Amino acid sequence: MAAATDSSNDADSRWPRSAMLMWGVFSTRTPAGRLYIHRCVIAVSILILPSVFFLIQHYSHHYYVRPKATGRTTAFLLPFVFAYIVWEFRKYLVSLDELAQRLQLEAMAWTYLTGFVAAALLCGLWLESLPHVDGIWFCPLWFGLLEPVRAYWLYRLARRY
């Protein structure tokens, strides 16, 4: 009987590990997951395109674009690209069923708490080395490091089911 065969497959009923750890989604095979990943990849590609173009022309000794212009273009694109990714993630989240939504939200809550502890730790280090402080401690791109943390928490939380 099909149902009996299926129920013996409980161990296979978990979400794929690779999709969670690599992309922070439950599956790259579902239409919503695939769409979200594709759009994120396109958005990030657009963001790094000016830098890639600059590096290519720099190493080919052609100087059509100045470094300052590249930096300004990237800086201009940065908020738009990340706002777009956030918007796409919201759409992905809405498309999930109730358990998957709960896991994603729990993963975000744990990521926030992890980030909070990490920020406190960095702040402590900064206070400790106050005379030698430099701007890297305040770089907003540190927030980008939270994405792998979210992926890790998602994987860890999903293992409960």
Partner 1 sequence: MKNELRVLRARHDLTQAQLADRLGVSRQTVNAIETGKYDPSLPLAFKIAEVFGELIEKIFLAQSGRD
14 binds partner 1 (CB under 8 A): yes
- Residue number with CB closer to partner 1 (4 or 130): 4
Range in contact with partner 1 (rule: CB under 8 A) among 64-72, 83-91, 95-103, 120-128: 95-103
98 binds partner 1 (CB under 8 A): yes
DSSP string, 12-63: GGSPPHHHHHHHSSS-SSSHHHHHHHHHHHHHHHHHHHHHHHHHHHHHTT--
156 binds partner 1 (CB under 8 A): no
7 binds partner 1 (CB under 8 A): yes
Whole-number minimum distance, CB 31 to partner 1, in Å? 13
Q: Which of 79, 71, 76, 81 is nearest to 46 (CA)?
A: 81
Both structure tokens of 85: 């990714």
